[in-house]
Amino acid sequence: MEYGYFTLKGKQVDNLPCEQCNNDTFNVKGIIKYVFVFLEYLPVFPVTKSVILSCTNCNEIIDRTAIESSLYKSIKKNVFKFYFVLPMYVGLLFFLSLLGYWQYLKHEENTLTKAYIHSPQKNDFYFINYEKINDNIRPTQKYRLGKVVSVNDGLISMIYGGFTYTRSSSLIRDVQGGMTYDARYFNHKEHSFTLDELQNLYADNAILAIKRPKNNRLYGNVVIDSISINRKYSSIAEMHNDRGLAFMRYSHIASNLENAYKHFSLSSEGGLSKGQVNLSKLYIGASDINKALYWLDKAAIQGNYEAIRLYIEHCNVADGCDKKLFISKLEMTGFDLSLN
- Which residues would be at the binding site for Zn ion (CB under 5 A)? 18, 20-21, 23, 55, 57-58, 60
Kindly tell me which of 58 and 183 has the beta carbon lying closer to Zn ion: 58
Kindly tell me which of 51 and 296 has the beta carbon lying closer to Zn ion: 51
Report the Cα 88 to chain-centroid distance in Å.
Answer: 32
Taking the complex as a whole, how short is the minimal distance between the CB of residue 18 and Zn ion, in angstroms?
A: 3
Contact between residue 184 and residue 161 where contact means Cβ atoms under 8 Å apart: no
Round to whole Å and give the CA distance between 238 and 235.
5
Taking the complex as a whole, how short is the minimal distance between the CB of residue 57 and Zn ion, in angstroms?
A: 4
Taking the complex as a whole, how short is the minimal distance between the CB of residue 11 and Zn ion, in angstroms?
A: 18
Taking the complex as a whole, how short is the minimal distance between the CB of residue 38 and Zn ion, in angstroms?
A: 42
Taking the complex as a whole, how short is the minimal distance between the CB of residue 51 and Zn ion, in angstroms?
A: 17
Taking the complex as a whole, how short is the minimal distance between the CB of residue 2 and Zn ion, in angstroms?
A: 36
Taking the complex as a whole, how short is the minimal distance between the CB of residue 36 and Zn ion, in angstroms?
A: 36
Kindly tell me which of 20 and 121 has the beta carbon lying closer to Zn ion: 20
Kindly tell me which of 26 and 181 has the beta carbon lying closer to Zn ion: 26
Kindly tell me which of 57 and 157 has the beta carbon lying closer to Zn ion: 57
Kindly tell me which of 15 and 134 has the beta carbon lying closer to Zn ion: 15
Angle between helices 273-285 and 305-315 (to 10 degrees): 30
Kindly tell me which of 54 and 141 has the beta carbon lying closer to Zn ion: 54
Taking the complex as a whole, how short is the minimal distance between the CB of residue 37 and Zn ion, in angstroms?
A: 41
Residues 6+ apart with CB under 8 A from 114: 202
C-beta neighbour count of 135 within 10 angstroms:
7
* Residue 237: its H or E element: helix 236-248
- 3-class SS letters over the chain: CEEEEEEEEEEEECCCCCCCCCCCCEEEEEEEEEEECCCCCCEEEEEEEEEEEEECCCCCECCHHHCCHHHHHHHHHHHCCHHHHHHHHHHHHHHHHHHHHHHHHHHHHHHHHHHHHHCCCCCCEEEEEHHHCCCCCCHHHCEEEEEEEEEECCEEEEEEECCCECCCHHHHHHHHCCHHHCHHHEEEEEEEEEHHHHHHHHHCCCEEEEECCECCEECCEECCCCCCCCCCCCCHHHHHHHHHHHHHCCCCCHHHHHHHHHHHHHHHHCCCHHHHHHHHHHHHHCCCHHHHHHHHHHHHHCCCHHHHHHHHHHHCCCCCCCHHHHHHHHHHCCCCHHHC
Kindly tell me which of 26 and 80 has the beta carbon lying closer to Zn ion: 26
Kindly tell me which of 60 and 190 has the beta carbon lying closer to Zn ion: 60
Taking the complex as a whole, how short is the minimal distance between the CB of residue 68 and Zn ion, in angstroms?
A: 19
